[in-house]
Amino acid sequence: MGDRIKTRPIETRLEALVSWWVGKMLLAPWLVIALMLVLTGISLTYSIKNIGINTDTNDLLSSDLPFRKTYDKYKREFPQFVDTMLFVVEGPTLEITRTVAAELTERLKHSTREFKSVYTPDAEPFFERNGLLYQTVPELEALSDRLATIQPFLATLAENQSLQALLDILSKALDAIDQSEQIDLQPILMRLDEAIQARLMDKPYSLSWQEMMLGETSQQTGSQRQYVVVQPVLNYSDWLPSEQAMRSAREITGSFTGEQYAGVRIRLTGGVALDYEELQSVSRGAGAAAVIATVMVLVLLLVGLRSVWLVVGVLASLFVGLSLTAGFATWAVGELNMISVAFAVLYIGLGVDFAIHYCLHYRHFLYQKTEKMEALRLTGGYVGTALILCAITTAVGFFAFIPTAYSGVSELGLISGTGMFISLFVSLSFLPALLSLRSIPSAHVEHASGKRVGMPEVITQAPYRHAIWIRSGAVIAGLAGVILLPGASFDYNPLNLRDPDSESVSTFRELLADSISSPWNITILANNTQATERMTEELRQLEVVGKVVTLKDLVPSEQEEKLILIEDMALILGLQPETPDADNDTSNADAQTQVDALTRFRDRLMTYLETQKPAEVHATAAQLYSDLNRLLGQLQTSDDARQSRILEDLRTSLLGTLPDNIDRLRESLSASPFAITQLPEAVTSRWVAGDGEQRIQVFPSQDLNDNKALREFVEQVSAIAPNATDFPILSLESGKAVVKAFQQAFISALIVISLILLIIMRNPVDVIYLLIPLLLAGLLTVATVIIFDMRFNFANIIALPLLLGIGVDNGIHMIWRVRRGIKAKHNLLTTSTTRAVIVSALTTVVSFGNLSFSMHPGTASMGKLLTIGMIFTLITTLIVLPALLSIRYSSTEDMREIG
């Protein structure tokens, strides 16, 4: 090698070429600036007018992937299940919930601009008429016994739905208890007391007669919850495709106010709502974060460059380069997706580095008393080769994603890779021309020089004095990283990337916890009935499967036996289809008649309490007696109008839901046998496609909030049905495709980058020295992610190309500085190159590290990964790399020193 580091011919030619180019730019700087600004204006105008955005997350992966093809087929066969919003309606009673769901459905149907279709599963008339047939025989027998017990109540109240009729029936029931008949009055007495207490506190209350009829069954089956499924009109060219639909949905749900809706809760979830609230979560606070990041970057640039003019040059170059890159993105891609839109973030993180390195080396040439124009030209030649190499290697890292199946990152790779060359062009043309317009005050140059400002010698010499220990520590850390590497995992659950406090996420997780009705279920399409039955039988044998539903399951079994029980119930109840006779309806009896009925019932309670009765019923009756006294006292002190209102409110609270329930009970008692061919078209169209393919719906037996349960569910079902699809499949397979894409891209990028470095640097040892800190930083980053159980996900994995680019660039600049004749053992860490590496790294950290504090978990994880990766990249570059270089260059004699 000789006494000096020899300059390779390719390096000499590149240096000469860049010096010549920068010199030409300096001949007519105003012309260069004007042309660049015009080009910037054209590019910006073109981008603003033509750039589109596709926020459909389904398009982030190649449509050629097998699981995408299967899902696309499913969407064509059953489009009504794609891009839906789910309204979850809950109320204090099923009657109120059902009424609100019906009102909500009607209001949504009138908003035709925002909603294409509205479907309420529980409101299908066919199922309301034949609902009892879907219960088991034991359930029907239990219901029959219960209805037989309350038959006297229903038969009387069906004819006379008045407050005094109800109280008279309860008095007779108390007499029956005295005669030792087995009548459980606890539920009705408790509900009566609740109604009276609500009236005393002037609060709304509604007794659920369905609960009284069916007992605890309705609560156990979760029937106090109703669903309304909506397909909104989406515009994927907008940042928020469902914004109009979501606004309309919020306005409609917000209109359910007033006493009649007390206790009602309407929540919104489903795929569309989840995506909408996620985009809002991402953008929430983004403006403030951007301002804070901008201020912090400006402060760092001022501290690092020590010149307002240099800062202006860096920012102007950044703006020009970003505008030109946006123009290229518009021309090459035309439509940005949810990932490729991040090209601006990556450009800022990497593009600014070129300008920083140029400015700091230019300042050092000025410190060497070089004339301004000559300093600009020499700087171009001095750092130009390293910048070219950085642009090529970083671009390769991005271009490596183009052939992958991850379409979102593939487009990002094309845009960002080209952006590196745009940044190189701007840094070697526009930036020198701009800087030439004004000189930097000599005081600023002196103050910012390496001779006056630098790190303490104990720090700059540490990598060399303790090189052996550092190299040993690096080996140990690397081995530890390799050992931990298999523990790296990918979080396939997209819910974990969303704000857990948002309504859509919290509601969705609540529904997922109920595995039997989980919104995350698997869909399988079968060609015929035989295939459906065979596959269904196999699926039901799996422990991970909670239930399997097909069209055939909508036809209840044992219909004949069930119909006999239903006919018996109809005979026992004696409910006729006609409505009560108006002449016999005393619901509007005068106030005094109702007060007298209350007084008689109170007195009957007193008699009941004077005897020995079951403790639980006795306590309830005692509380009811006390509250009745308070109510009668209130009635006595009220004027006629208020007295009538109190009594009517009490009657409505107790009997308001009865007429509808009696009508529904009459309807359900008219059930008739039916076959699969007699199911309504509105039902069959959701299970059988136009070409005859049948849908099989598979529900999990476990909570799919757990990633392990999700994986097991998908893998075992897919083993039986390779054509299975829907969101659990999409989540898991998308994650696998993303991981594979990044593995493929990083391996190919590493190989190509190594070859390029070998060709240009012509020194395998230097290439190895450059790659070791990069790989070590990567291993340490992954190890930290594993140790702190952070996991990679769809969001933070996007940070890896940025870390790769910065890691390669830092190593290139440091090694290039040594190859240009700097004593690595003595002053590498005091050079402008080191300061440029530090400043550029810190600007990246403050630009994107503040994302760690985002309320959006996905964004926060990306910010944390970037911060961790940047810290390790900086450590390995400034500590490990010099310790490695000291092996090769420790015997280097005195050389010319530039900084």
Place of tokens 């299967």: 70
CA distances from 524 to 482, 550, 686, 694, 714 (A): 40, 10, 13, 8, 12
> What is the per-residue pLDDT for 218?
45
**What is the amino acid identity at position 317?**
S
pLDDT tens string 119-167? 998 888 898 899 999 999 998 998 888 888 778 778 888 888 888 888 9
Give the pLDDT band of residue 801 (cuts 50, 70, 90).
Answer: confident
pLDDT tens digits, one per residue of 465-482: 888 999 999 999 999 999
Is the pLDDT at 256 greater than 70, yes or no? yes
DSSP code string of 6-36: PPPHHHHHHHHHHHHHHHHHHHSHHHHHHHH
Q: Give residue-wise pLDDT tens across range 856-882.
A: 788 888 889 989 999 999 999 999 999
Going by pLDDT thresholds of 50, 70 and 90, the confidence category of residue 586 is: very low
What's the average model confidence in pLDDT over 55-79?
Answer: 88
356 class by beta-carbon count within 10 Å (0-12 exposed, 13-18 middle, 19+ buried): buried
Residue 338 CA to residue 59 CA, distance in Å, equals 9
User: Do 810 and 877 form a contact (C-beta atoms < 8 A)?
Assistant: yes
Query: Strands 225-232 and 522-526: what pairing?
Result: unpaired
Q: In angstroms, what is the C-alpha Rg of the chain?
A: 38
Residue whose tokens read 């002053």 = 827
Query: Can you list the alpha helix ranges (DSSP code H) found in 590-726?
Result: 591-609, 615-636, 640-655, 658-668, 681-684, 707-720
Alpha-carbon separation of residue 613 from 167, 195, 525 (angstroms):
20, 23, 61
Helix (H, G, I), strand (E, B) or coil at 269: strand
CB 337 within 8 A of CB 61: no
Q: What is the three-class DSSP state of 821?
A: coil
Banded pLDDT at 179 (limits 50, 70, 90): low
The confidence score (pLDDT) of residue 337 equals 79
Taking only the tens place, the pLDDT of each residue in 227-241 is 999 999 998 777 788
* Whether pLDDT at 98 is above 60: yes
Mean pLDDT of the chain: 85
Decide if 399 contacts 332 (C-beta within 8 A): no
| Cβ 132 vs Cβ 566: under 8 Å | yes
Asked whether residue 183 carries a pLDDT value surpassing 70, the answer given is: no
Q: Mean pLDDT lowest for which of 381-395, 462-476, 503-517?
A: 503-517
709-753 pLDDT, tens digit each: 999 999 999 999 999 999 999 999 999 998 898 888 889 988 999
Q: What is the largest CA-CA distance in the chain?
A: 120
* Per-residue confidence (pLDDT) for residue 215, from 0 to 100: 66
Residue type at 116 in one-letter notation: K
Per-residue CA distances from 506 to 100, 277, 510, 512 (Å): 22, 12, 6, 10
State the number of CA atoms in the 13 A half-sphere of 323 facing the CB. Answer: 19
Does the pTM exceed 0.85? no
φ, ψ for residue 555, nearest 5 deg: -105, 110
Nearest to 806 by CA among 836, 767, 850: 836
pLDDT of residue 621: 86
Spatial CB neighbours of 64, under 8 Å, sequence gap ≥ 6: 405
**Strand 52-54 to 335-337 pairing:** parallel
Amino acid at 53: I
- Alpha-carbon separation of residue 195 from 94, 199, 200, 206, 606 (angstroms): 17, 6, 9, 7, 19
**Residue 485 — very low, low, confident or very high, per pLDDT cuts 50/70/90?**
very high
pLDDT per residue over 527-574, tens digit each? 988 999 999 999 999 999 999 999 999 999 999 999 999 998 888 887
Category of 89 on φ-ψ map: left (φ > 0), alpha (ψ -120 to 50) or beta? beta
Q: Which phi and psi (to 5°) does residue 176 adopt?
A: -65, -35
pLDDT tens readout for residues 335-364: 887 778 778 877 887 788 899 999 988 988
Q: How confident is the model at residue 325 (pLDDT cuts 50, 70, 90)?
A: very high
pLDDT score, position 582: 41
DSSP type of residue 143: H
- pLDDT tens digits for range 652-670: 989 988 888 888 888 899 9
